[in-house]
Structure formats: C-alpha cells, structure tokens
C-alpha cells in the first residue's frame, strides 16, 4: 500500500518563475493538505482540498493556488516566486480531514 | 491567533534516560492534539494523538503523552530512551470544529548519546 507520494523531490527555480508540485494521497484517502516548512520551523498550513474544492486556507497570498483532481491527487502552484518561498513543501492526506499522513516533501530552492 | 509552543529546541540525553518534551497551545475550545516524529532522512510520522477520553494516551515505540486541559499542555514522555529515538519531534494542534488545519510547534531536536 503506497503512502503519500510527492514529486519532484527537489526543484530549483529563479525569482519570478512559476512552479507546480504534485501529490498523490494514500490509498483510501480523499483529502489533501499542503504545508510549507521553512528551515528550523514547524510546518505552516497553506490550504486543504476536499471534494475537489479548497475547504480551508491558511495565511498565504493568492500566488499560492491549488487543485484537486477526481482521483484525489493534488497540485500546488506558486506564481511569481520570491526568495522567501524557498522551503520544504509537504503534502498530507487524510480521510475526510482526520488524521493526516505526510509525504517526504518537495524541497524548493528559489535563486 | 492560535499558537503552539515547544519549550526546548534541542535536547541531548544519554541512553536509558527519561524523556519529557513540553508542548503548550493557546486555544480555549475543543482541540485535537498530535505528536509527530521525523527520523533523520525520513518523512513526518504520527507518534500519537488525542481526540477525547482518557487524557493519557499511548503511542508507538513506548511513547506516551498527557493532556492537561487546565494547563493547555500535551507533554510527550518516554521512561527510557534509546539511541534510535534520535529525531525531531513536533507537537501539532487542530483547534475547533470545522477547522482542518494543523498548527505546529517549532519542533524539538532530540539527540540520544549511546
């Protein structure tokens, strides 16, 4: 049984570019949450998707957007990248928003 | 705003020592509480959780945590640590009904000396 899978594992972009990160949830899960984890800090909630809609959003600008597909997989898009967007981006899946299980993350570096 | 505080950023212990990691949160209503662990090179894993009922919860690998509502605390304990417990430990809170986000502490890096 595959757990939560994220791709790519590492990504290097330059300021102003756009990036798309992908997440496949654990089998049987229908909800995907995205978090940003800066070095030395705990994760910060970006948003959660359920039934293909954004159900809740954290304190992140509109440059951060997402999507959930009918197979429950999800994408996180970040536009107009800033140096401060460099972080580990974590995807977590759950069944109807309960206990969240995490993927290994995508390390984004913005130069 | 809701917040989670973990008192120690770094803890160094010898094998067989007892462990207690502090976690306090700021929210007066119903909460769900979690401890996650991240072993070196691995992803975050759920260690234990509290939703309701017995405030003393047991998790994997001999860990336990006690929810003290009056102190807004959810401290993690283990009576005797092993070298393999070296990891980063995160406390997280899900606060309130229809609130799906986890609010996280900054983490505690635990190093166990063999």
Which residues of chain A lie closer than 8 angstroms to B90, CB-CB? Answer: 42-43
Residue of B nearest to A38 (CA): B106
A102 touches chain B (CB under 8 A): yes
Out of A42, A58, A103, whose CB is closest to B107?
A42
**Chain A residues in contact with B4 (beta carbon < 8 A):** 42
| Eight-state DSSP code of residue B9 | S
d(CA A86, CA A13): 9
What mean pLDDT value characterizes chain B? 94
Instruction: Give pLDDT tens digits for B42-80.
Output: 999 999 999 999 999 999 999 999 999 999 999 999 999
Mean pLDDT of A48-60: 95
Mind telling me how many Å the CA of A20 is from chain B's nearest CA?
A: 20
Residues of chain A contacting residue B45, judged by C-beta atoms under 8 Å apart: 102
């Amino acid at each position: 049984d595959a757990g939560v899978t994220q791709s790519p594992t590492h990504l290097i972009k330059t300021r102003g570019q756009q990036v798309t990160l992908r997440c496949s949830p654990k089998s049987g899960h229908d909800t995907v949450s995205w978090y940003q984890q800066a070095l030395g800090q705990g994760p910060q909630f970006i948003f959660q998707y359920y039934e293909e809609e954004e159900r809740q959003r954290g304190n992140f600008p509109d440059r951060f957007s997402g999507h959930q597909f009918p197979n429950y997989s999800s994408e996180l898009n970040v536009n107009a990248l800033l140096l401060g967007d460099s972080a580990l981006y974590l995807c977590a899946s759950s069944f109807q928003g309960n206990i969240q299980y995490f993927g290994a993350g995508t390390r984004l570096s913005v130069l | 705003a809701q917040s989670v505080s973990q008192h120690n950023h770094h803890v160094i212990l010898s094998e067989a020592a007892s462990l207690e990691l502090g976690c306090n949160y700021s929210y007066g209503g119903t909460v769900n509480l979690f401890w996650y662990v991240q072993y070196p090179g691995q992803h975050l894993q759920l260690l234990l959780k509290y939703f309701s009922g017995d405030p003393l919860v047991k998790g994997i690998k001999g860990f336990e945590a006690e929810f003290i509502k009056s102190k807004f605390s959810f401290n993690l304990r283990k009576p005797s640590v092993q070298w393999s417990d070296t990891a980063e430990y995160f406390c997280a809170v899900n606060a309130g009904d229809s609130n799906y986000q986890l609010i996280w502490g900054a983490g505690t890096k635990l190093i166990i000396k063999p």
